[in-house]
Structure 1
């Protein structure tokens, strides 16, 4: 069984921030305010002086125009950090489940597909346009450029299921981290939903991963996203950890 701390590390590598400062066991991440994961503290160890550490984080983030935030999983240190942050005025955001599966098991449950899914090692302009429109984090060209830099900092596979002309029906990203694959950015254009395209994208990405010797996959799914959770349950994914963010009100 993989530990929550190992999962936290995999997710951090799969979505790397531009700047990461080590602070007595904490990893303080910054990325121009784009995405919560890349602009939150990963509290992997317990600081000697919690109050001073919290003050440092808050001052640093505020100096860069970023709302102070922490990613809280079962591995967060100190163990009462969540309660400490609540008392300090931090609010809960985005409760999320982390799920894992053996790639071979998932592929066995996915139906055959004749969809022409293209796989590349970089996100194309069409990929970015689809993701930003369907499932991006919002904002203008500067925010989109910062998000693209996050994507391109680590090894990954990018799937595009093209439509007519320059249109894209569906996309997905598979981060390659150590001997794991991480499924991110799965998005289907609203006009093409309920046609099995998400499954086709997942299948194409996982097949490519197996050709590279990767055997296990993880993903994050927002707890309230019932349709996505139902899909992953059918594919054999099982919850191994969870997290939420504590964000300064």
Structure 2
């Protein structure tokens, strides 16, 4: 798979800081979730000093958490041998934004904002996306927009889209549970794709856990393709 997607993730859903420590990239997440808190191999051939990464994460007060790409097979096995368990396998989807954006969007359904409105923050909060993840969104550089989705005369969905290196990546798509299954997620995806195309992105990409069956079904139905994957390994008890 094309490893540049991982650079896009770091740019559009950025940790508070990324530090190079020997052969490792150490992410400081400050409560923003696994994506911004996991250590990963900066040098595939030399990422064998696992205690060095553990010490760096311990210094930040973070869990022993590693992100494994398809090229990290030896590291993946080494962590498994140390008792690290797989958690949250993730699919990377991508598509031509003009393809996804071609469908209809009913009037007064999707809106773009430069900053997240209070109602958007409330929708995210109901989905478990709180202030620490909002801080991640605020750190995203380059072109970006927040999307607000409406259905049945009320705000019911939201998402973030940001561009890096020609790839627009959608994050934090959330629709209130009461309004799911009514097409709003599809309309937000179309709005994201149209914004991406207007801003020169050649691709629209996103990340979703494999176990999220409804989301995977939506993205497949839009013609998006899985182009890669990754997973985490975690050890609850400190080494």
Q: TM-score, normalised by structure 1?
A: 0.86
Structure 2, unpaired ranges of 5+: none
Indicate whether 1:237 and 2:224 are aligned.
yes
Aligned to 1:68: 64
> Aligned pair in 2 of structure 1 residues 113, 41: CA closer, same or farther (>3 Å)?
same
Q: Does 1:248 align with 2:230?
A: no
Compute the displacement of 1:122 (Å): 2.1
Aligned length: 234
Contact 2:65 2:232 in 1 (8 A): yes
Report if aligned partners of 2:150, 2:184 keep a CA contact under 8 Å in 1.
no
**Alignment correspondent of 2:29:** 31
CA distance in structure 1 between the partners assigned to 2:98 and 2:151 by the alignment: 29
What corresponds to 1:185 in structure 2?
172
- How has the CA–CA distance of structure 1 residues 151 and 34 changed in structure 2, closer, same or farther, with 3 Å as cutoff? same
- Cα distance per residue 1:193-244 (max 9 Å; x no partner): 2211111111122212222122311111111111111111111111111011
Can you give the 5+ residue segments of structure 1 that lack an aligned partner in the other structure?
137-143
Instruction: For residue 24 of structure 1, report the CA deviation from its aligned partner.
Output: 3.0
1:126 equivalent among 104, 115, 119: 119
**In 1, Cα distance between equivalents of 2:47 and 2:162:** 35
Runs (4+) off by over 6 Å: none
Q: CA deviation at 1:162?
A: 4.3
Q: Where do 1:32-111 residues align within 5 Å?
A: 32-46=30-44, 48=46, 50-51=48-49, 54-76=50-72, 79-108=73-102, 110-111=103-104
Q: Is the 8 A contact 2:25 2:42 kept in 1?
A: yes
